[in-house]
Structure 1
Amino acid sequence: MSYGKFQKEAGVYTNWRNKNNLPYLNYEKVEEIIRDKWITDKRYKELIAFILENWDSGNCDNFSRPFSKHLIDNKELNFYKRLWKGIIRNRLDKFWNQYDYLRQELPDFTLEKIKLVNINGFNQFSSEESIERCFAWKRLYIIEGINEFIKGLEILKDSEEIAKQISLLAIVSNLEKPKPKPTTDKRKIDETIFWQIIDENRKISTDQFNFLDNLKSTLETFHPKELRKFDKLLITKANELNTWEHWALAYIVRSGCGDDEFDYFRVWAVSKGQTSFEAIKELNENQLLQIFDEDPQLEELNYLAEQVYETKTSDLMPPIRVKTSKLTGKRWDEDNLPQTFPTLCKLFNFE
């Protein structure tokens, strides 16, 4: 919900300025104003979620640094770690994917060659940059980010996390991509085991991003063919929510929801665990409010089992065959949602 809330508040603020004939502010400045308001109101968890979703490449330096400094100054260690571990995780995901691509396209590349690449004038937003320059820049970008994270940890005196980040720093610096875990979990993934895996990892996770990390570690211990079963069950369960009524719920909760966002909403619902999933499926209005404690979007879960499979086998996962799910239910008009779904709209303050 963080993304929708942030965008809504930014829109309200912009409209207020327009009505009062105040000078125009570009959207970046408006974002900074809403960010600072959320910091003042101590809406740390929501702001972290917004940052990690909105800048999933980790390229959020200018926006997140004042927030990061605030967390350090106020000794908010746990929130500081959640922010930075999320940022670095996003950067690493893109980095290792590019690492695999670079090895495929330029099999003779070495660490020493990457170190010699000239990145002066590099433009991270240009599609014309070479893959060597992109990779060399990203390597240094992640190294700088980890070092920045460590500096804050030193102020907050978290020696255990500092040791972990120093270890990660060496891995990135030396391009030592972690090897896949051996297959140690011999269970066959059926629907019961599927929900056990989801529920157990949700229970130990602080948020949806930490959940993805924990789930990935769990899936890495399974045989590749079981990963295909996991993926098939994920798709099957998400398809059970492919109705106009569940799309309305997603739209109301997020103050807007397009086609892609509805796909991400449905896999997020699965990620919340079996009990919450069933409550969402039944549109149980007595339970929904407590379930929606984070932005209901989890696109990355769509690809997680496939990525783990590829890492373990060095091959693409064969296509998963699941019967196509057609959108069912009664179509609604967004202008009439308060009349069509009055209780849901009231529950989530949708106007």
Structure 2
Amino acid sequence: MDIDGFWVLIEESGRAAKTKKKRLAWLDAHLRERTAEEIVDFQMWLDVVQTQAATWELWGAYFAVFGMGSDDGFEYFRRWLQGLGRETFERVVADPDSLIEVPELLRLLARKGCRWTNEEWPEFEQLSYVAWDPYKAMTGLEIEHLFSQVGARGVATNSSELRGEQWTIDSWDDMRHRFPRIARYWEGRSDKGGSK
């Protein structure tokens, strides 16, 4: 499975199932139809793509949009971005300020004063684990073997190290300078970020 095949599976799961739980079941079923090597490929691309989004700039955009953040939350948010498909994912990674233009996010933010359900919240932690059961069922091996196979290809699994220049948002002016579109969105609103 190459990177294109990986994205086809991710995007087809989104068209076939509208909830996270159903998407995971769809991916599980389709991965069980693949070879063990293809399941390793899928896990590898899942981790490669996740690492592409592990940047300080995207972290800043995430914090600017939600007004809060944690290492785990940012990891699960990046999985959610993957779940939106290749075009959206690559656009936001290349231009983190464009995060505020993602329709799925705008629909949530427009519900001022509303609490988001776990299904709606822009995190998709379980996507990290979707290849585990199919791999174990196919090979009879423990998950550590899957990780070692991915690692043998030179890919680190679940790397949380961020790339780029480290910085923090110290002020509203700093955010406006770095993320003008996100700042314009929030200007004039009394709430400065999402609510879980």
TM-score w.r.t. the length of structure 2 is 0.72
Instruction: Pick from 318, 328, 331 the counterpart of residue 166 of structure 2.
Output: 331
Shift in Å, 1:246:
0.7
Cα distance in structure 2, aligned partners of 1:345 and 1:258? 21
Shift in Å, 1:338:
5.5
- For this pair of structures, how many residues does the alignment match? 163
Is residue 200 from structure 1 mapped to residue 12 from structure 2 by the alignment? yes
Partner of residue 55, structure 2: 243
Paired AA for residue 19 in structure 2: D
Q: How has the CA–CA distance of structure 1 residues 296 and 286 changed in structure 2, closer, same or farther, with 3 Å as cutoff?
A: closer
Correspondence 1:255-274 to 2 at 5 A: 255-274=67-86
Partner of residue 345, structure 1: 183
8 Å Cα contact 2:54/2:161 also seen in 1: yes
8 Å Cα contact 1:227/1:305 also seen in 2: yes
Shift in Å, 1:288:
2.7
RMSD: 2.5
Partner of residue 140, structure 2: 314
Cα distance in structure 2, aligned partners of 1:253 and 1:195? 26
Correspondence 1:44-83 to 2 at 5 A: none
8 Å Cα contact 1:280/1:288 also seen in 2: no
Deviations 1:93-138 (A, max 9, x none): xxxxxxxxxxxxxxxxxxxxxxxxxxxxxxxxxxxxxxxxxxxxxx
Cα distance in structure 2, aligned partners of 1:244 and 1:337? 17
Q: How has the CA–CA distance of structure 1 residues 242 and 286 changed in structure 2, closer, same or farther, with 3 Å as cutoff?
A: closer
8 Å Cα contact 1:195/1:273 also seen in 2: yes
Cα distance in structure 2, aligned partners of 1:304 and 1:339? 38
Deviations 1:264-320 (A, max 9, x none): 111221121111111211226287331425422111111110222123333213222
Percent identity over the alignment is 26
Cα distance in structure 2, aligned partners of 1:328 and 1:212? 29
Q: How has the CA–CA distance of structure 1 residues 337 and 329 changed in structure 2, closer, same or farther, with 3 Å as cutoff?
A: farther
8 Å Cα contact 1:265/1:296 also seen in 2: yes
Is residue 289 from structure 1 mapped to residue 102 from structure 2 by the alignment? yes
Secondary structure of the 1:260 match is helix
Cα distance in structure 2, aligned partners of 1:339 and 1:208? 35
Q: How has the CA–CA distance of structure 1 residues 203 and 248 changed in structure 2, closer, same or farther, with 3 Å as cutoff?
A: same
TM-score w.r.t. the length of structure 1 is 0.42
Q: Which runs of 5+ in 2 are unaligned?
A: 108-119
Is residue 219 from structure 1 mapped to residue 57 from structure 2 by the alignment? no
The structure showing larger relative contact order (alpha-carbon pairs under 8 Å, at least 6 residues apart) is: 2
Q: How has the CA–CA distance of structure 1 residues 231 and 199 changed in structure 2, closer, same or farther, with 3 Å as cutoff?
A: same
Shift in Å, 1:239:
0.5
Paired AA for residue 330 in structure 1: E
Is residue 305 from structure 1 mapped to residue 131 from structure 2 by the alignment? yes
Paired AA for residue 329 in structure 1: G
Secondary structure of the 2:23 match is helix
Q: Give the number of the structure whose alpha-carbon radius of gyration is greater.
A: 1
Cα distance in structure 2, aligned partners of 1:229 and 1:316? 17
Cα distance in structure 1, aligned partners of 2:3 and 2:78? 17
Cα distance in structure 2, aligned partners of 1:337 and 1:311? 51
Q: Which runs of 5+ in 1 are unaligned?
A: 1-188
Shift in Å, 1:326:
4.1
Shift in Å, 1:334:
4.0
Partner of residue 232, structure 1: 44
